[in-house]
Structure 1
């Protein structure tokens, strides 16, 4: 993905949400963005691979909005399968949230649909809300710039991460899940053909790490070894090299769009400052290595030295040696090849909440007494491969309920040996506890809950509707690790 210019696009005029009722072709096109769900070909490790994608009217992956520009987008499904797109990090009207049949049906092949709402600033993304489709890379960046982004003297880079298999996603899911069926998954969460049963013995049991103080129990970090790990659709065999200025400042917008992989972002010799998570500013945190789970985003500011050079920005797979990334290079710099495997395994990011506990919001939620404090027990196991919320899978779930406008404090208590990135649709929440003293933590939409860990988030219930609340690990989601935040008027 190329660097953004410091000038943005022309601002678009706001459109009424009522235009959702009109066919896309009826509405004026001049101020609207075009987006296509389509197939495309990329090269991975020297082999051509057919994947899916979300391309704008100029054939580029993703969308970038200027400050104040309305989210006015016409989406067309040019694929040969029905699908639907969720605007991850945005807060649209529930009708436009993009979950199959909740409430809108999937887009049929050839169908177009319009979306109109106020864009929420920050680094976000968009993806199919069907695990098999997301694993086919039907996802893209969705960046909404702030006025300070436009005025800042810095370049911007997007680092979009995926895990990738040459095998069909249905086969991958079947191998991971070991043939568990989800009878209650009635809104296409399993894809078009379901997941066929396969012998669990054929699957590698992944990487496990014992955790201190846990009586020898082992934490499962990775339950599948993908064929490749991509940064902007490329591996380190042929990485994207992005030109930056000597002595300049770069904002790297990192998006973890992987199905089942947690990464560390390592800026190497460049000093870094983490300035936002999930699109929301945080008090700057200095460092050269920051972790992010599936669905999460990091904005990291980097300072390029005056003498210039080439600087790999790497995404390291936790608990394993694989890595991917891009290269920032000043004009004329010599770019040295970086191999796709580190010498040693990278540590676990999922082991604890130390990074989360250190984050502080720039604009915290106002203090309010909660109307309710539900506890969600996160459970499950590798054998059989089933993951639950309060002991239930989707279809047998008990919703978390709230009244619109109420403050609710949800505690995620993970009783399993895998971490779970928990994502809430249609809302932003604030992390207020990681099991100890309260603090004004990051405002975000996806929080990573480690094995045997506990996180409490505060959220103000929004539009009266059914909003999905689920784990963003695609195999966990596909076996039913989802409930709903049911808001009443």
Structure 2
């Protein structure tokens, strides 16, 4: 489906959602109840003192219910759409087939308002995955990833994340989206790049697990505990950099996949849609702030209090030492297999087109739906060379597959398996993937604004 014509095609989408598809069943046609039920519905959140948010969420809560499955054990989930807009659920990081993946561009059906559809999943791979809406928003900032439609999906199975005493899942989100002048013009001037004139999105509030810093209950820990934190950036457009003063993070997994080289850092960086699993040794008693390294982000709520047993007082923040996030620290350096073929994909901002408030994003000069598909053969290994010719960061996500990060600019690496990789301004990143899951697979920037305005491409299997 042409994502730009989504709203005009709503009537057709509703009809499509009401028709049974291969791989789909309406609950009434089943002889047994689903394993789980999710309900897409409006809700009101009290995220901070005197701050209420009207949004759409799963089962009236943010994040949505924690889904925990066993690797390889089939599960059915009935999703009822009690909102006023057609929608669908994407099971991010799972190797499901196209109809159940939850992406219109792959052929997954929309769920009409008032309708219920059943997803059939066989959870794989193990690790920290998540689920979220894959609808579009365009210029309506009350839809899609700007809402509270997201939740953790954990798949249990080898390998495990290592010894720990407690698990804590933390999801970042931004609220109160609004249009702001595009800052890309200033970046363009400094980097001798074409200027742009569109709008960007800013936010009034930020939360971790639906509460602003200082609201809600603190994270309570005991001295000597080893805590496994699973962190998810579920923001529509905002990357995040986090620290916990007095503590360090041992990174053990990224996007749910164990890293070849577990490495301890003081600061974590999570682009939109990325997950990072870390072990924190609780060895610095006190009351602390786990939050954004940017004061302006903490001021709008991006943080949570960590309180040791027996300690009280005002939570403490200390700025960490300046550092750059570097994927290579967590990777190996072994040689990787040569790909069958290399696709070079150059990302650029084409500026505002056809009266749009927002800039159009292109891949090799074309914007979705005019981007040519990448054609692959089952069983072959391919390399995608992501060339970011813009001044923005781009978290690139590949559906239904994981990939190995094999080069960042001139640095070669191996063993770092992800499903979303953040490509920095003017950076080149190479990722390799095995074409082992036939059917259309969507490749896109996970920033909602970029995805809606052209930044998508389909990978097609030729056999």
3-state SS of paired residue (1:426): coil
**1:485 aligned to 2:459?**
yes
* Equivalent position of 1:231 in the other structure: 208
* Equivalent position of 1:271 in the other structure: 248
* Equivalent position of 1:456 in the other structure: 430
Does the aligned pair in 2 maintain the 1:259–1:294 contact within 8 Å? Answer: yes
3-state SS of paired residue (2:59): strand
Stretches of structure 2 lacking an aligned partner (at least 5 in a row): 1-20, 137-142, 354-358
Q: CA 1:432–1:52 in structure 2 vs 1: closer, same or farther (change >3 Å)?
A: same
Matching residue within 165, 168, 179 for 1:157: 168
Q: Whole-Å Cα distance in 2 between the matches of residues 58 and 318 of structure 1?
A: 24
Q: Whole-Å Cα distance in 2 between the matches of residues 122 and 256 of structure 1?
A: 16
Q: Given the two structures, how large is their TM-score scaled by the length of structure 2?
A: 0.82
Query: Offset of 1:319 from its aligned partner?
Result: 9.1
Matching residue within 356, 370, 375 for 1:396: 370
Q: Whole-Å Cα distance in 2 between the matches of residues 393 and 318 of structure 1?
A: 36
Does the aligned pair in 2 maintain the 1:64–1:143 contact within 8 Å? Answer: yes
Q: Whole-Å Cα distance in 1 between the matches of residues 461 and 60 of structure 2?
A: 34
**1:302 aligned to 2:280?**
yes
Matching residue within 70, 80, 84 for 2:84: 80
* Equivalent position of 2:330 in the other structure: 359
Does the aligned pair in 2 maintain the 1:268–1:311 contact within 8 Å? Answer: yes
Matching residue within 323, 340, 343 for 1:374: 343
Does the aligned pair in 2 maintain the 1:94–1:463 contact within 8 Å? Answer: no
Q: Whole-Å Cα distance in 2 between the matches of residues 234 and 58 of structure 1?
A: 9
Matching residue within 98, 121, 131 for 1:126: 131
Q: Whole-Å Cα distance in 2 between the matches of residues 217 and 332 of structure 1?
A: 57
Does the aligned pair in 2 maintain the 1:19–1:116 contact within 8 Å? Answer: no
Mean CA deviation greater in 229-238 or 138-147: 138-147
* Equivalent position of 1:35 in the other structure: 38
Q: CA 1:59–1:434 in structure 2 vs 1: closer, same or farther (change >3 Å)?
A: closer
Matching residue within 139, 145, 148 for 2:156: 145
* Aligned residues between the structures: 426
Does the aligned pair in 2 maintain the 1:262–1:317 contact within 8 Å? Answer: no
Q: Whole-Å Cα distance in 2 between the matches of residues 239 and 445 of structure 1?
A: 32
Q: Whole-Å Cα distance in 1 between the matches of residues 195 and 84 of structure 2?
A: 43
Matching residue within 417, 428, 448 for 2:391: 417
* Equivalent position of 1:192 in the other structure: none
Q: Whole-Å Cα distance in 1 between the matches of residues 202 and 61 of structure 2?
A: 35
* Equivalent position of 1:136 in the other structure: 147
Query: Offset of 1:468 from its aligned partner?
Result: 0.7
Does the aligned pair in 2 maintain the 1:381–1:417 contact within 8 Å? Answer: no
* Equivalent position of 2:104 in the other structure: 100
Does the aligned pair in 1 maintain the 2:65–2:151 contact within 8 Å? Answer: yes
Mean CA deviation greater in 447-456 or 54-63: 54-63
